[in-house]
Amino acid sequence: MIPASFDYVLPRTLPEAIAELVKHGPEAKVLAGGHSLIPLMKLRLSTPSFLVDIGRLGNLNYIREEDGHIAIGALTSHHDIEFSELLKNKLPLLTSAASQIGDPQVRNRGTIGGAASHADPFGDFPACLLALDAEFKVVGERGDRTITAKDFFVDTFTTSLEPNEILREIRIATPAPGSRATYLKFSRRSQDWAIVAVAAQVRVTGHEVSQVAVGLTGMGNRPLRASGVEQALRGKAGHDDEIRQAAERAAEGTDPQEDLNGSPDYRRHLAQVLTRRALEQITAHH
């Protein structure tokens, strides 16, 4: 289908982009890579009358380490995240997830900031960013503020961004040495959206699991933490039976929906299986 008609502006600076959003109010939408917004506009599920294209703001495309944090510019593409040596070494959860998003064309155009702001409950990055306790640096007409991941994702396609705010940067504390991570995704065909996916990050110190974080995709109207699993495994040795028992708690507190891809019970089962596999995979060499 063809989108409803809209006006378009290509600002050169972030303050200019904010000014356009303020000027046009709720009718305006931010366009980054376009891989989330354009399909919705074609289906007329989203009908903004004004698009503010921030895709050319070159200073929002970077990955760097500073002050014990890794900072990722909001316009960094999935491709750049997938192939970043810094992220491969320090945040393999993000490189693992990025490599499984869409096809090469999508990965070259789609941005992490766009994916986070779009807040699709079946999107891959939100659960990872939640598991990593990411912080979102946003800028609006009243200046800058920081939103934690647990407060950022509110509901289906809904974040705590105000209409005139733009996500500028994602910051993640550099994980301690010995942290390992993976993103396991179950979908009907390759390149499909996940039916369920699990973002797991674990640190084993000595002979015990000192840190564990598990994020879930597709188990509710927003990304969720499997806090029952985290509690059950923290302080344990990470033996197979302990992982199995912990993974049985993966669906606690979740609210998976019914759709063509599966029933809530099917999704709960998948969450348990994928959590067990992810945890076994990243604790295997200890």
Residue count of the chain: 286
State how far the Cα of 98 lies from the Cα of 92, in Å rounded to an integer.
10
Give the C-alpha distances (Å, rounded to integers) separating 96 from 85, 99, 108, 265: 12, 6, 16, 27
State how far the Cα of 270 lies from the Cα of 196, in Å rounded to an integer.
7
Give the C-alpha distances (Å, rounded to integers) separating 22 from 29, 117, 123, 261: 11, 18, 28, 40
Q: Which two tokens stand for residue 88?
A: 């491969």
State how far the Cα of 111 lies from the Cα of 5, in Å rounded to an integer.
24
pLDDT for the residue 254: 97
> Span 66-86, mean pLDDT?
97
pLDDT tens sequence across 156-172: 999 999 999 999 999 99
pLDDT for the residue 286: 55
Name residue 167's amino acid: L
- Residue, of 7 and 40, whose pLDDT is higher: 7
pLDDT for the residue 188: 77
- 105 pLDDT exceeds 90? no
Q: Which two tokens stand for residue 3?
A: 């989108």
pLDDT tens sequence across 121-167: 999 999 999 999 999 999 999 999 999 999 999 999 999 999 999 99
pLDDT for the residue 20: 94
Q: Taking phi first (over 0 means left), then psi (-120 to 50 degrees means alpha), and beta for anything else, what does residue 134 get? A: beta
Mind listing the domains of the chain with CATH numbers? 7-53 (3.30.43.10), 62-173 (3.30.465.10), 179-283 (3.30.390.50)
> Span 168-184, mean pLDDT?
96
Rg (CA), the chain: 19
